[in-house]
Every structure is written in structure tokens, then in C-alpha cells.
């Protein structure tokens, strides 16, 4: 995992100040979001910082550690707070690339560093009682530019999809808070087929597949 000593000084300084702000909070998601949003433009508008990070990625330097497993291929972890107040992640979206519709286990503040990011938000219209089934309704969509942000809440309150509507590769930075639930997955959604399914990180996915494979060995 990324070592703080390898981080650019501006990024390490930002993370330290954000931690101090969040430590003063009461843990309420909206309160933590507001504290993060106060500092967020300083981060997302620092183009030189992220140019340096991208150069480091391109050269395969120690920071950031692109070998660290993540749920999405476009995702790079920049920082995991040792006290679990937040994590910071970088996303690089190719032209027309979007993530699947999904929820989160924690609150988050998200915005583009370069280009324009499209955000599509959904409400869940079913009661959640039927396993594997979820009926979604699109609530709204927006396109945000560097210096702007949006926030997500945990679970059904924050079902959304983000991506790149343009023909150029863009960069997004995201800050996520401490998980509010204990799950080793997030939910992915297929709105066209009214389906919900778990999305596991690579390590957990491999462990789960191993367990499933062992069941066949015992037959």
C-alpha cells in the first residue's frame, strides 16, 4: 500500500489537514461531507499536483502503488488514513467510459480534476425484499467541471453512476469516509433488467471463488 513518505508534499499536507477537520466532527455523514467540501476545491484545482501524480503512474514509480487491488480498473488509491477517517482515490476515465450503477458503504465527495464528469443519480423504487431484484428510477443527472463537486450518501441514498461523456481522457478525485456498514462488497445495479448484484474487490472475489470451488471438490 502507498507509503505516506512517498507522497507529494502538497498531497500529504492536504490529507493531514483533512484528517484534523474530520477528527473534530461528530461522525454524522452530512457533517463530514460539509467539512470535506470546504477543502475539496483546493485539491481538485491543483492541476500541477495531479500532473505529477499521472507522470508517476506513467513511469511506474513507487507512489502511487498501481498494483494495489481495487474494485474498478480505472481506480488508483492515493491514500488510506491510518485511523480510517477517509480514503482518497484517483479515477482515470477513457472516452465514453462509465462505471456500473452502484452504491457505497460510506459517504463520499467526488469531482473532476480535468475535463467534465457526468453523474447520474438513482432512487430505488422497490422494497428490497426480493433477493437479486432492484427497481431503479433515474432521479437526476449533472455534468460537473473542475472546482465543482457532488456528494454521495451510503447505501440506497447514494445509488449513482459516474463517467466521461467526452472524447478525451479525464481524471476524477474522490474522498470516501469511514464505512457505515460492515460489508465486503458494494451493490451493483442493472436498471434495464431490475437486477442487483454484489461487486467484490479482487482479493475478496478470489477468496469467494476459492470457497465455491472447494464445495465442488467435496462432492
- Listing DSSP states for 94-130 in one string gives -TT-BPPEE--SS-EEEEEEES-EEEEEEEE-S-S-S
CA-CA distance, 31 to 17, in Å (whole number)?
A: 16
Q: Which helix (H) or strand (E) holds 51?
A: helix 47-59
Q: What is the DSSP letter of 192?
A: G
CA-CA distance, 166 to 169, in Å (whole number)?
A: 8
The set of cell numbers assigned to 187 is: 451493490
Q: pLDDT digit string (tens) for 190-202?
A: 999 999 999 999 9
- Predicted confidence at residue 35, as pLDDT, reads 97
- Predicted confidence at residue 4, as pLDDT, reads 62
CA-CA distance, 92 to 73, in Å (whole number)?
A: 9
- Predicted confidence at residue 218, as pLDDT, reads 67
What domains can you pick out in the chain, each with its CATH number? 4-217 (2.60.120.10)
- Predicted confidence at residue 219, as pLDDT, reads 66
User: Which regions of the chain are under pLDDT 70?
Assistant: 1-5, 218-219
Amino acid at each position: 500500500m502507498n507509503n505516506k513518505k512517498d507522497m507529494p508534499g502538497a498531497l500529504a499536507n492536504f490529507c493531514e489537514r483533512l484528517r484534523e477537520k474530520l477528527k473534530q466532527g461528530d461522525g454524522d455523514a452530512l457533517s463530514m461531507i460539509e467539512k470535506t467540501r470546504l477543502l475539496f476545491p483546493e485539491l481538485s484545482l491543483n492541476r500541477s499536483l495531479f500532473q505529477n501524480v499521472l507522470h508517476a503512474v506513467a513511469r511506474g514509480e513507487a507512489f502511487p502503488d498501481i498494483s494495489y487491488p481495487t474494485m474498478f480498473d480505472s481506480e488508483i488509491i492515493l491514500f488510506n488514513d491510518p485511523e480510517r477517517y477517509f480514503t482518497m482515490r484517483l479515477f482515470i476515465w477513457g472516452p465514453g467510459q462509465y462505471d456500473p450503477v452502484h452504491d457505497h458503504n460510506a459517504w463520499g465527495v467526488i469531482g473532476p480534476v480535468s475535463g467534465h464528469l457526468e453523474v447520474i443519480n438513482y432512487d430505488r423504487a422497490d422494497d428490497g425484499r426480493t433477493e437479486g431484484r432492484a427497481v431503479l428510477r433515474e432521479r437526476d443527472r449533472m455534468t460537473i467541471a473542475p472546482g465543482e463537486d457532488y456528494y454521495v450518501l451510503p447505501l440506497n441514498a447514494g445509488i449513482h453512476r459516474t463517467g466521461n461523456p467526452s472524447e478525451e481522457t479525464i481524471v476524477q478525485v474522490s474522498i470516501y469516509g469511514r464505512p457505515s456498514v460492515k460489508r465486503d462488497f458494494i451493490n451493483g445495479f442493472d436498471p434495464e433488467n431490475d437486477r442487483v448484484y454484489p461487486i467484490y474487490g479482487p482479493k475478496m472475489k478470489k477468496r469467494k471463488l476459492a470457497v465455491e470451488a472447494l464445495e465442488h471438490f467435496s462432492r
